[in-house]
Structure 1
Amino acid sequence: MNAYNLILDTDSYKASHWLQYPPGTEGLFSYIESRGGDKDKTLFFGLQMYLKEYLSKPITQAMIDEAEAFFTAHGEPFNREGWEYILKRHNGYLPIRIKAVPEGSIVPVRNVLVTVESTDPVVFWLPTYIETALLRAVWYPTTVATNSWFVKQVIRKYLEETADDISSLPFKLHDFGARGVSSRESAAIGGAAHLVNFMGSDTISGTLAAKAYYNEPMAAYSVPAAEHSSMTAWGRLGEEDAYRNMLVQFGKPGAIVSVVSDTYDIYHAVDHIWGTALKEEVIQSGAMLVIRPDSGDPSAVVLRIAQLVEARFGADINRKDYKVLKHVRILQGDGVNEKSIEAVLANLKENGYSAENAVFGMGGALLQQLNRDTQKFAMKSSAAKINGVWQEIYKDPVTDTGKRSKRGKLTLVRHQTTGEYKTSVYPIPKNGPNSQEVLIPVFENGNILKEWTFGEVRQTALNA
């Protein structure tokens, strides 16, 4: 593909929309919300990446020429006059204003998260023109961060019930999703979104995105870990030697060594190799061995491994009367999603084992098994300024009331006592309830007005 062209980062039919509005239209106001979906609230994240990477850079004459050639051949009209006006009058920067909730905020669905409006009446049509890119920049990272946050609450619950403390929580869900997404950029965006909640990842691009767009020097950590190729290279008769090599190479005091152990027979590997032939080497290494099954029913397999490990290595009883395995932890990285994680932890608890014993790695379910409809994200126009007067505009389809859109210029407020969020008209009535506006101006006319550090985003999510 050619170099990025903001004018072409839209849907084809939007090229004709500047001709479709009523005479005298001078402004448009649009908003983004989650209209519902799988979760009753969302963790807002990711807009800053889009603002920095794309929207804060000006269009050029070459972009205009390229877009005109494309749309003419494509069968759409092209607003060359409008885009050249932006180039000459605004030096190529889009005259729009974007407000958003602070990144990391956890907001109930059906509330405004982002608003966008035009700041120049000559090119009033810009808010809807950028809908395609702007909505994509919001729904994907927000949905990943939301799913990750809900998984975190499940793990937190079982740690609080069965562990002496929850200090291990930030490392309980590892991102294995880089190979399962549709592009490197998806891995970067989704990988960074997961790291709002956790600090373990093998998705390098996500960690780099947190650094590039949120100034976080190192957002995630990983450990030496085996894969099937490095184990099968030793042959079936060399399975014990393959495991021993992992201990020799990485088994240092205080280290973590993760070894996939289901290449042939996970139960034989745990009972006879790790638990017998290599038992003393594991103990003497001073490392924490992490045994990783990669097949079978997660709930049943993890419990069986825990029982075999206990029989060979023993277990301590913590202050809550749950067993904590000695020298070994179990990493489930196959078939992992919110439901299977809860099933694994519930089964461990029922059989007397602390959630401390389990760690999880999530791939496709974390970064790829979702779409815009997972949380029913939409961007709609709610007000138009026509002949100097702002008017409410909305949709209200008789065939689907769930797609009824909001009306007027909007904002999000939060009650200062109860903490309740509510979408409200803008500006907020002076004699209104004891509420404070939550939306913050983040972008205007090419300038980024507010930047969040990754630490701030994490803290906002943590305090929600």
Structure 2
Amino acid sequence: MNNMILNTDSYKTSHYLQYPQGAEYVSSYIESRGGDYAETLVFGLQAFIKEYLTRPISRADIDEAEAVLTAHGVPFNRAGWEYIVEQYDGFLPVEIQAVEEGTVLPVGNVMVQVQNTDPACAWLTSYLETALLRAIWYPTTVATVSKACKNIIADYLDKSADNRDGLAFKLHDFGARGASSEQSAALGGAAHLINFMGTDTVSALMAARRYYAAQMPAFSIPAAEHSTITSWGKDGETDAYANMLRQFGGDGQVVAVVSDSYDLWNAIDNLWGKTLKQQVETMGGTLVIRPDSGDPVAVVCEALQRLMRAFGYRTNSKGFRVLPDCVRLIQGDGISAATIDAILAALTALNISAENISFGMGGELLQKVNRDTQKFAMKASAICINGQWRDVYKDPLTDPGKRSKRGRLALIKDVAGYQTIRLEQLAGQQNLLQPVFRNGRLLRQQTFDQVRACAAGQSDIPVSDSAA
């Protein structure tokens, strides 16, 4: 699956025969044309470049691709690929420009621009669309959803808590098992970690380490699942809970226990709230109770009110109720940006602070997104024929929303914010599209800390201008 020649759509293989005579260069761009969110958090290009574009195409790749594609019934540009091997040692003669990863970019703006660097390979720019667009839209969309959730939680903390302490751990990634592939879990999980520091997706840790030089980008805690609780039997539920405290409790320790295997209300009112109450209060750490069924809004509201009756509460400076530090709640079932907002709105109406709860998000984070969530597209916008640049664009009468941009592009930021302009209009302004890849070389490398800093609106961490 690592043959870049085959990392494309079938119809792309015939396009080298379709460009006008004399075509020398094609310039294409990637943008989010709109979608569910007004801004996107750009992420994922560096991972794709490191994994795929810093590896050369080989003659064995060409042989394999020719055998597969000719049997598949489509043309194969063997001469073009052999030229790349002969002239560039198999590295693709293209330049990719992009904004810094971590940029929060309003929709409708160019975030990536691609152009071939050799006039003999004008066909190559658009050939890369399938792989390159997929490498951008998915992690960027996950990062965008995660960022939106962070903004919602931060707003409710501002309303109902004394501070935003703990915000980085308020949304935990539960999505690994629901992702379509291990690679999706890795890239989407890493995208989530731009905004938060809690995950159970181990593959995300590895993606952040491998592609962005992260040391340890996120953390987790010991936690029970239904099998470990129900293996004690219904009559042994109290013993199962006590074992969790005994194994993982202690000063400064946090342990999560799913508590709805049988009767959540009995577990809160009687098992945690009476039988094990002293152990919870004196263990020195924090018990995080996890419901895992029922209507999320109703269950969370009821569970927190019952916990406050069992363990008491204090009132913070804003007049909202807060559980004692020894007990908290995490809701990991049915969580989306919409249900997070609905739960926190309901808690606010009950005078319960958002600091009492954290969330786990699975399929809604890593899987229930697609290219149309943010209407991503890669389109050709300019072509050079016999030394003359021409605009390339589409303007379908039946869907004005699919109108594409024209010309070679630049991205600027001024008092009006980000703007996409034509390259010839730059006139000395800083172009935020900077070369990141050219002819097999990674030209600019960001660490995970730099991506996070960019997403947070900080610019005090310099970006390396060459691959480490």
Alignment correspondent of 1:152: 150
Shift of 1:419: 5.8
Alignment correspondent of 1:292: 290
1:430 matched to 2:424: no
Q: Structure 2: which amino acid aligns with 1:238?
A: G
Residue deviations 1:23-54 (CA, integer Å, cap 9, x gap): 00001000000010111110000110000000
Q: Structure 1: which amino acid aligns with 2:433?
A: L
Alignment correspondent of 1:50: 48
Shift of 1:430: 2.0
Alignment correspondent of 1:35: 33
Residue deviations 1:34-93 (CA, integer Å, cap 9, x gap): 010111110000110000000111000100111111111111111111101000101100
Shift of 1:429: 3.7
Q: Structure 2: which amino acid aligns with 1:384?
A: I
Residue deviations 1:134-181 (CA, integer Å, cap 9, x gap): 000000000000000000000000011111110210000000000001
Alignment correspondent of 1:443: 437
Hey, what's the Cα distance between the residues in 1 that align with 2:79 and 2:283?
71
> Structure 1 segments of 4 or more deviating over 6 A?
none
Q: Structure 2: which amino acid aligns with 1:377?
A: F
Hey, what's the Cα distance between the residues in 2 that align with 1:413 and 1:450?
19
Please identify, of 306-315 and 96-105, the stretch whose mean Cα deviation from structure 2 is larger: 306-315
C-alpha contact (below 8 Å) 2:335/2:361 kept by paired residues:
yes
Q: Structure 2: which amino acid aligns with 1:462?
A: A
Hey, what's the Cα distance between the residues in 1 that align with 2:263 and 2:109?
51
1:162-181, aligned counterparts within 5 Å? 162-181=160-179
Q: 2:61 aligns with which of 60, 63, 72?
A: 63
Q: Structure 1: which amino acid aligns with 2:10?
A: S
1:238 matched to 2:236: yes
C-alpha contact (below 8 Å) 2:248/2:255 kept by paired residues:
yes
Q: Structure 2: which amino acid aligns with 1:405?
A: S
Runs of 5+ in structure 1 lacking a partner?
none
> How many matched pairs?
457
Residue deviations 1:413-460 (CA, integer Å, cap 9, x gap): 111xx26000011144427xxx53111110001000001100010011
Alignment correspondent of 2:98: 100
Alignment correspondent of 2:385: 386
Alignment correspondent of 1:323: 321
Hey, what's the Cα distance between the residues in 1 that align with 2:66 and 2:295?
55
Alignment correspondent of 2:418: 421
Alignment correspondent of 1:452: 446
Hey, what's the Cα distance between the residues in 1 that align with 2:297 and 2:369?
23
SS state at 1:436 partner: coil
Hey, what's the Cα distance between the residues in 2 that align with 1:429 and 1:313?
63
Alignment correspondent of 2:199: 201
1:294-309, aligned counterparts within 5 Å? 294-309=292-307
Hey, what's the Cα distance between the residues in 1 that align with 2:148 and 2:313?
30
SS state at 1:330 partner: strand
Alignment correspondent of 2:465: none
Q: 1:138 aligns with which of 136, 139, 155?
A: 136
Alignment correspondent of 2:461: none
Hey, what's the Cα distance between the residues in 2 that align with 1:199 and 1:48?
21
1:462 matched to 2:459: no
Hey, what's the Cα distance between the residues in 2 that align with 1:246 and 1:305?
20
Hey, what's the Cα distance between the residues in 2 that align with 1:343 and 1:71?
51
SS state at 2:430 partner: strand
TM-score between the two structures when normalised by the length of structure 2:
0.97
Q: Structure 2: which amino acid aligns with 1:300?
A: A
SS state at 1:442 partner: strand
- Is the alpha carbon distance of 1:429 and 1:286 closer, same or farther for their aligned partners in structure 2, counting shifts above 3 Å? closer
Residue deviations 1:307-328 (CA, integer Å, cap 9, x gap): 1111111111111111110121
Runs of 5+ in structure 2 lacking a partner?
459-468
SS state at 1:412 partner: strand
Quote the RMSD (CA, aligned, Å).
Answer: 0.9
Shift of 1:406: 0.5
Same amino acid, percent of matched pairs = 57
C-alpha contact (below 8 Å) 2:410/2:426 kept by paired residues:
no
TM-score between the two structures when normalised by the length of structure 1:
0.97
